[in-house]
Structure formats: structure tokens, C-alpha cells
Amino acid sequence: MSLTIRPARPEDCPTIVMFIRELAIFEKLEAEAVGTSEQFHLHLFGERPACEAIMAEWQGEPAGFALYFTNFSTFMAKPGLYLEDLYVRQAFRRRGIGKALITTLAEIALSRDYGRFEWSVLNWNSPAIAFYRALGAVAMDEWTVQRVSGPALEKMAAMSPKASLN
């Protein structure tokens, strides 16, 4: 096995965008994948990084990635690791790459003394759900994800009392 897991580097941004577009096609969300290499460079490696990524290479070929960021548990009073995207290219599946990526993230969470590691998965993606269950993940069925974006986010922000928080 010739698998390498390493932190993303600035020159990986075009590959990350390619992976995200492939993932979006798989998830039937292609129209929503509008991020550019420049945007990922800013948010991964800029002055105030918003996320991190690890890359998987199989025999030197880009095979997959995981993009994650820190969240926070007020109940635990500890940060947590939130996995935004995990993707392994079709040609590289069934080689343990997904497991290597997710277990590397678990190792990162523990090494940073994070209290938890969590992510979301589409309800229809039964192979991914089975994979996560086999690794010990537990569904948080009592929680429902809420999201505000686009015009609804702008409308919500317009209701703000205009406190200066930046």
C-alpha cells in the first residue's frame, strides 16, 4: 500500500476545488459548488484561516481529501473538530483511504484535546452511513440541522441591532 496522508498545501487548492466539484456531482448538489481556488487559498492559508484540510495520495496521485474546522461545545467547554467534507475519488475507493482520512482526523482531535468529532451525512447516502457506523459513529437523530444562506441570511442580518462586532 502506498498511501500518504498529509496536510494540505497552498498548491493543493485547485485539486481541492476539483474534489469538491466531484463530490457535489455525487451529492446531486453541483449548482451549489461555486468556490474557487483563490477562495480556498484565502480560507485555508490566509491571514485568518477558517478551515484546514488533509490530502490523501495513492502512489503519488491525488486520491481524496478531508476539509474540517474547529467548532466549540459550551457544555464541554472544549473545542471540537467538525468535518465539512470527506471525499475519495471513485478510482481510489475500497483501498482504506476514507478510513485513513477519518481516523487521521480523530487523531488530530485527540492531539488537540478536542472534546468531540462530528459531521453530517445525507440521509440517502447509506454506504457512507454504514461506513461511519462501522467506525463507531452515532447518529444524532434528536438534532436537526438548521441553515440560513443567501437572501435569507441577508434578511436575517438586516434585523440585527447593528452592534459593532467585527
- Residue numbers annotated as active site: 132
- CB 56: neighbour CB atoms within 10 A? 27
Distance CA 98, CA 86 (A): 7
